[in-house]
Amino acid sequence: MEEKPKPSSTTFSPGLPELKVEHPAGEVHQRERRRSSQARRGSERTTAPPVVFQGLTREKVMELLYWRNLKQSGLVFGSLLLLFFSLTQFSVVSVVAYLALATLSATISFRVYKSVLQAVQKTDEGHPFKAYLEVEMSLSHDQMQKYAENAQYYINSTLKELRRLFLVQDLVDSLKFAVLMWLLTYVGALFNGLTLLIMVVVSMFSMPVVYEKYQAQIDQYLDLIRTQVNSVVGKIQEKIPGAKRKAE
């Protein structure tokens, strides 16, 4: 009698159904969210912003505020001051209309001058603003969604902070906010909104340069002021019941 060979334990029958492992619904949703967020990040990396918005970077703004390029900083500073001073004398509609008329006068004059020059010299250089007309100025859907998410984040953070201050979640912070609003009543009585904007613009273009030049002295005085303020706040917290902060 010949013995039949025993089937090996390592062989599998091709007819057996495949085993499927079912994951919980929460884990599936988390994986889908991770995949969608990764795809969104990849699309944001691959999608380049328009040419107009590529120059508006943080480094560019810092160069303007620190006067790295005198011509550019002077042009931006003078334009902003001229705009705000014009708004103090005329209405917003008049200022917008005058700016539009001035821009149109310059562009139309330049276009007519170039056309006459091309006709006299018998050249065909094309439209003088062709390079600017071909600049991409549209925003993609991903960019609009990104800006909308950033705006939503800042709005929600502001609303939560205002709710925390007005509903006195922290008594000391609410008192600080009340003191700030009380000081702003005197500021509003002395200056209007446009004057404050002019002062803000002047401070933005002057304070960084002054701080960069006298940083050591300014930091010393700021440390003294911060120490005095912290001591006063500590005394107030000791006298007012329930005003002590929780230890972090």
pLDDT given for residue 44 in this prediction: 44
Q: Which residues contact 202 (CB under 8 A, 6 or more apart)?
A: 81
Residue 183 falls inside a structural domain: yes
Q: Say what the alpha-carbon torsion angle 187, 192, 197, 203 is, to the nearest 10 degrees.
A: -40
Indicate whether 180 belongs to any domain: yes
Six-digit token pair at 19?
Answer: 């085993």
Question: What pLDDT score does 133 carry?
Answer: 85
Q: What is the pLDDT of residue 34?
A: 60
Asked, for residue 170, whether it belongs to a domain, the answer is yes
- Examine residue 163 and state whether it is found in any structural domain, yes or no: yes
Report yes or no on 185 lying in a domain.
Answer: yes
In the prediction, which pLDDT does 149 show? Answer: 94
Give, in order, the Cα–Cα distances in Å from 95 to each of 44, 109, 211. 38, 21, 34
Residue 186 is assigned to a structural domain of this protein: yes
126 exposure class (CB count in 10 Å sphere: 0-12, 13-18, 19+) = exposed
Split into its structural domains, the chain has a count of 1
Q: Residue ranges of the chain with pLDDT lower than 50?
A: 1, 6-23, 28, 42-48, 51-52, 246-248
Query: Is residue 237 domain-resident?
Result: no
In a domain? residue 168? yes
Query: Domain limits at 180?
Result: 157-191
pTM tops 0.75, yes or no = no
